[in-house]
Amino acid sequence: MKDQYNVAIMGATGAVGQVMMEILAERDFPLAELRLLASARSAGRELAFKGEKLVVQELSEASFEGIDIVLASAGGALSKQYNPHAVAAGAVVVDNTSAYRMDPEVPLVVPEINSDDLAHHRGIIANPNCSTIIMDVVVWPLYQRRRVKRIVVSTYQAVSGAGARAMEELEQQTRAVLAGEAADPEEFPHQIAFNLFSHNSDVGPEGYCEEEVKMIRETQKMFHDDQVQITATTIRVPVMRAHSEAINLEFAEPYPEQEAREILAQAPGVQIVDEPASSHFPMPIEASGLDAVLVGRIRQDISRPDGRGLDLWVSGDQLRKGAALNAVQIAEVLVARNMLQAAESV
C-alpha cells in the first residue's frame, strides 16, 4: 500500500475543479503529484497549490499515465470520452458528472450514507448530483431510525451548479441591471439577476426536468430503496454557491420532532441552525465555505396529525459537499480502505 498518490483533476480550471484543489490542500490529501487537466484554452496557465505553481495541461488520452486517482469534473461528454482511458491506465475515477450515476455497475456514493458500496467499483465511482447530496446527507440519518415513505422537496439552487461562467454571469448581470442596462443571458436561458426560474434541464414526458429525476433516482439508488416515493421541484435562484431546499418527509411511523433533532445533532456532515427567537435558520451565505450541510426549521408537519410528517429547511455548499468535498471524501475512503484496485476492470 502506497502512502502517497498521484491525483489528476479533469476540469481543474472549472468551478468544482478549483474547489477540489482547495480541499485537497486543506485536508492534506497524501499527494505525490497533482496533475491539472483542462482544455487547450487553459493549457500553460499556472495555478497555485500549497505554495507551488502547477502548470495546467491539455486533457488528452495520454493524460493519465502513472495516475492513481482521477477527480473528473469537466462535463459528462468528456467523462464518457476519457474515463475509459483513465481506467485503462490503472486509475480509479471519481466522476462528478451525471454520465455514470445510474449505471448499475457503478457505485454512487456519499460516504456518510453508503461507503460500503465502494467495494464493488470497477474503476469508476459516481459522485451524486449536488441537490441530491445536500438533501440525502440530512434525510439519511432520519431514515435509518424510521423508514421514509415519501419526500416532497423544492430546491433553491445557486448558480455555481452551472459552472464558473454562470457565476460570472450572475455578477455581470447584477451590475448591468443596477446600471440600467440589459441583462443579456448567455449561460442561462433567462435573466438570473433579480429573478429565478425552473431548472433549465430538459423536461421529460412526465413533466419532470432532468434535475428533478436525478434527485429521485439517485436517492433511491443510494438508499437501496426503490419504494421511497419522491417528488421534486428544482429552481435556480440568484445565489452564488450554496443550494437550499425545503424538504417535507412522510415516515412509516410517527417521528417525534425532538427525536429528529437528537439524531440530526449527532449526524455526520450535518449542523443544526435553528433559532426561532432571532429568526436565524440555514442561509446560503452562511453555508458557503462550510463542509457541513445546515439544517433548521425542524418541525412536525401539522397537516399530519398522526405525527408521521416532518418539515426541514437545509442549505449546503454546492461546490463543497455538493461536489468537490464529497469527491475528495470518496478518494479518502478508497485510500484508507486500500480499495484503489478495481473489483474487476471495466
Q: Which is nearer to ligand A2P, 8 or 295 (CB)?
A: 8
319 near ligand A2P (CB under 6 A): no
86 near ligand A2P (CB under 6 A): no
**Phi and psi (nearest 5°) for 339?**
-115, 30
In 3D, which of 59, 8, 47, 57 has the Cα closest to residue 31? 8
From the CB of 200, what's the least distance to ligand A2P, in Å?
15
Q: Distances from the Cα of 157 to the Cαs of 200, 280, 291, in angstroms? A: 11, 20, 17
Residue 321: which residues within 8 A CB-CB, separation 6 or more? 133, 134, 137, 269, 291, 292, 293
17 near ligand A2P (CB under 6 A): yes
- Distance (Å, whole) CA 66 – CA 49: 20
From the CB of 225, what's the least distance to ligand A2P, in Å?
31
164 near ligand A2P (CB under 6 A): yes
From the CB of 305, what's the least distance to ligand A2P, in Å?
46
Catalytic residue check, 209: no
Q: Which stretch binds ligand A2P (CB under 6 A): 150-158, 162-170, 199-207, 326-334?
A: 162-170
Binding mask 52-81 for ligand A2P (x = CB under 6 A): -------x--------------xx--x---
Choose, by CB under 6 A, the member of 6, 23, 29, 42 that binds ligand A2P.
42
260 near ligand A2P (CB under 6 A): no
In the numeric block, which cell numbers belong to residue 205?
Answer: 414526458
CA 46 to the chain's CA centroid? 26
- Distance (Å, whole) CA 313 – CA 273: 10
248 near ligand A2P (CB under 6 A): no
Choose, by CB under 6 A, the member of 5, 6, 7, 13 that binds ligand A2P.
13
269 near ligand A2P (CB under 6 A): no
284 near ligand A2P (CB under 6 A): no
Strands 69-72 and 5-10: parallel
Catalytic-labelled residue, pool 85, 121, 199, 243? 243
Point out the residue whose Cβ comes nearest to ligand A2P. 14
Q: Which is nearer to ligand A2P, 41 or 175 (CB)?
A: 41
Count of positions on this chain that bind ligand A2P (CB under 6 A): 17
Q: Which is nearer to ligand A2P, 12 or 118 (CB)?
A: 12
Residue 275: which residues within 8 A CB-CB, separation 6 or more? 281, 296
Q: Which amino acid is at 40?
A: A
173 near ligand A2P (CB under 6 A): no
Q: Which is nearer to ligand A2P, 22 or 286 (CB)?
A: 22
Q: Which stretch binds ligand A2P (CB under 6 A): 8-16, 27-35, 259-267, 290-298?
A: 8-16
Catalytic residue check, 130: yes
The CB density around residue 178, as the number of other CB atoms within 10 Å, is 10
Choose, by CB under 6 A, the member of 7, 8, 20, 38 that binds ligand A2P.
38
159 near ligand A2P (CB under 6 A): no
12 near ligand A2P (CB under 6 A): yes
Q: Distances from the Cα of 333 to the Cαs of 29, 31, 122, 327, 336, in angstroms? A: 11, 15, 15, 10, 5
Catalytic-labelled residue, pool 85, 121, 130, 199? 130
- Which residues carry out catalysis? 130, 243
Contacts with ligand A2P by CB under 6 A lie at: 11-15, 17, 38-39, 41-42, 59, 74-75, 78, 163-165
